Amino acid sequence: MIETRNLGKTYHAHPWIRSARGRRRSSVEALREVTLRIERGEVFGLMGPNGAGKTTLLRVLATLVPPSTGGACICGADLVREAATVRRFVGLASGDERGFYGSLNGHENLEFFAALLGLSPRVARRLADKALEAVDLLPVAGRPVGQYSTGMRQRLGIARALLGAPPVLLLDEPTRSLDPIAASEVQALVRRLAEEAGMTVVVATHNFHEAEGICQRVAVLADGAVRDVVPVRGGEHGLAPRYRASLMASR
Partner 1 sequence: MTTVYQLLAFLRRDWRLARSSSIGLAWQTAAIICATPTIYYLGRLVRPGMPSLTPYGSNYFAFAVLGIAASGLIASVMGTCATAVRQEQVGGTLDVLLRTPAPLPVLAAGASLWPMLLALAQALLYVGLGAVLFHLNFAGANLVGATVVIGLAVVVSAALGLVSVAFVLLFRRTEPFTGAMVGVGVMLGGVFYPVDILPSRARAVAQLVPLTHALVGLRLALLRGVGVSGLVSPILALLAWCAVAVPIGLVVVRWALHEARRSGTLSGFD
Nearer to partner 1 by Cβ, of 99 and 235: the residue is: 99
Q: Which of positions 27-86 make contact with partner 1 (CB under 8 A)?
A: 30, 56, 59, 62-66, 84
Nearest-angstrom CA–CA distance, 48 and 228: 11
Nearer to partner 1 by Cβ, of 13 and 245: the residue is: 13
The answer to whether residues 29 and 224 touch, using CB atoms and an 8 Å cutoff, is yes
Give the one residue of 39, 78, 96, 133 binding partner 1; rule: CB under 8 A: 96
x-or-dash pattern for partner 1, window 222-251, by CB under 8 A? ------------------------------
Nearest-angstrom CA–CA distance, 248 and 251: 5
- Select the span of 38-46, 104-112, 130-138, 210-218 touching partner 1 (CB under 8 A): 104-112
Nearer to partner 1 by Cβ, of 171 and 232: the residue is: 171
CB of 43 to partner 1, least distance (A): 21
The answer to whether residues 157 and 106 touch, using CB atoms and an 8 Å cutoff, is no
For 34-60, give the DSSP string: EEEEE-TT-EEEEE-STTSSHHHHHHH
Nearest-angstrom CA–CA distance, 91 and 62: 8
Give the one residue of 39, 81, 120, 241 binding partner 1; rule: CB under 8 A: 120
Give the one residue of 40, 76, 80, 103 binding partner 1; rule: CB under 8 A: 103
End-to-end CA distance of the chain: 32
CB of 191 to partner 1, least distance (A): 25
CB of 109 to partner 1, least distance (A): 9
CB of 190 to partner 1, least distance (A): 20
- Asked whether position 187 contacts partner 1 by CB under 8 A, the answer is no
Nearer to partner 1 by Cβ, of 71 and 144: the residue is: 144
Give the one residue of 76, 121, 235, 241 binding partner 1; rule: CB under 8 A: 121
Give the one residue of 6, 69, 88, 129 binding partner 1; rule: CB under 8 A: 88
The answer to whether residues 166 and 184 touch, using CB atoms and an 8 Å cutoff, is no
Report the interface residues with partner 1, using CB under 8 A.
Answer: 11-14, 17, 20-21, 30, 56, 59, 62-66, 84, 87-88, 90, 92, 96-104, 108, 111-113, 115-121, 124, 144, 160
